[in-house]
Amino acid sequence: MTVTTDDISTITETVFQSVLEWEVRPSAADPGDIRPERSIAGSVQIHGAWEGAVTLSIPDGLARMAARKLFGIDPDEGSMADVHDALAELTNMICGNLKAVLPGPSTLSMPTVADGSSLVLRIPGSEVAHSAVFECHGHQVNVTVLRRIDVGHSND
């Protein structure tokens, strides 16, 4: 059993709507497209009966908007730490909800956040199980579920 693209879509849409009151819509963009703009990416590892990770990647501008919305910060007051915290929280919420549809029991790691231009997160020993691209406020949002392949799991 694994997560489906429909699971990713439903959960991502629900988290963005309930936490930020933002609509995200599925996009026809290729999840592998690398944007030259600065982006922020979060990752949460899943350990247990199912091994893998969930990543969330969004452009810096959208991440800053999320931090302002999530923490009620004025545009000039937010720090990069606030932006990282907001992305970590969103990634954790999406991963926690996806964990519920995976075989258990399992636990989640603390979120890891990185930022940079043309940023691509890779997790050694993992392969993409499913990836979905969304559009939110004119920005691309990528959610990827990675399945660990070096622990004897099948490719189902």
pLDDT, one tens digit per residue, over 53-106 is 999 999 999 999 999 999 998 877 778 999 999 999 999 999 999 999 998 899
Task: Please give the biggest Cα pair distance in the chain.
Answer: 49
The pTM (predicted TM-score) of the whole model is: 0.89
Q: How confident is the model at residue 142 (pLDDT cuts 50, 70, 90)?
A: very high
The pLDDT score that the predictor gives to residue 1 is 56
What value does the mean pLDDT take over residues 129-134? 92
Q: Which letter does DSSP use for residue 2 in this model?
A: -
Euclidean distance between CA atoms 64 and 61, whole angstroms: 5
